[in-house]
Amino acid sequence: MHPRLTTPLLALVLWLQFGSSMHAIEDVYLEPETFIAQSFESEPERKVLWLTKDLKASIKQVLGRDYRGMRIRYWQQGERTAWILEEIGKVKLITTGFVIEGDAMHSMQVLIYRESHGWEVRYPFFTDQFKGLELGEKNRLNKKIDGISGATLSVNALTRLSKLALHLHKEATAQ
């Protein structure tokens, strides 16, 4: 084969080969145990919230789907609770940590991101919107969360999770 053809052909084959094999990897932004340690001044109490039939029904209203499982772990110190929840963005789970105090969101952080797109949701310009968020009537948030172009599904997933965290906090602190 003519040497002038060899290089572009080889480049084409390599591009066909490796261009399609790019895949998403798991990005750990903050280890869950570090998130818990950072969220409280001293060692919090580790608790579980058992999901009764009524609670599962209300979770379905908040989340828009059934929650699989019968109990959810959380950490509590006084009025403050922390939750590590997971929700699928497009095809993979996003692990997110929520700290709630007095029925309002204190902070939200994306801990592990596994999708190939939409990782911009980890940045403070997005997560800061969740500070002070409260769950009102008909499970509506008191503030509108601005989306990010190209990360709509991840934004929606995190908005759903924030509603769930606020709802679970209410249930847990009411017990």
Partner 1 sequence: MSLQLPRKRTILAWHRWLGLASALFLLSLSITGLALNHTEFLKLDQVQIKSSVILDRYGMASGSSIDAYRIHKSDTLAHLNGQLFYNNAPLASADRPLGIIEGAPISVVATEAQLIYLTTDGEFVESIDSSQLPYTTLDAVGTTTDGRPLLISSAGNWTPDADWIEFDQYQASYNVAPLETITLDEASANSLLDAFQGGGVSLYRVLLDLHSGRLFGWGGRTLMDLSAIAIIILITSGIGGWLRKSRRQKTPQIT
Q: For the chain, report the end-to-end CA distance as a whole number of angstroms.
A: 78
Say how far apart CA 19 and CA 138 lie, in whole Å.
46
Q: What single DSSP character describes residue 80?
A: E
82 binds partner 1 (CB under 8 A): no
Biggest CA pair distance of the chain: 79
Q: Are 93 and 64 in contact (CB under 8 A)?
A: no
Total number of residues binding partner 1 (CB under 8 A)? 21
Residues 36-75 as x/- pattern, contact with partner 1 by CB under 8 A: ----------xxx-------------------xxxxxx--
Q: CA nearest 118: which of 82, 159, 173, 163?
A: 159
Coil, strand, or helix at residue 37?
A: helix
The interface region with partner 1, picked from 31-39, 54-62, 102-110, 151-159 by CB under 8 A, is 31-39
Cβ neighbours, 10 Å, residue 92: 14
10 binds partner 1 (CB under 8 A): no
From candidates 21, 42, 149, 175, binder to partner 1 by CB under 8 A: 21
**Least distance (Å) from partner 1 to the CB of residue 74?**
11
16 binds partner 1 (CB under 8 A): yes
> Among residues 56 and 160, whose Cβ is nearest to partner 1?
56
Please report, as ranges, the residues that interact with partner 1 according to CB under 8 A: 1-2, 9, 12-13, 16-17, 21, 31-33, 46-48, 68-73, 84
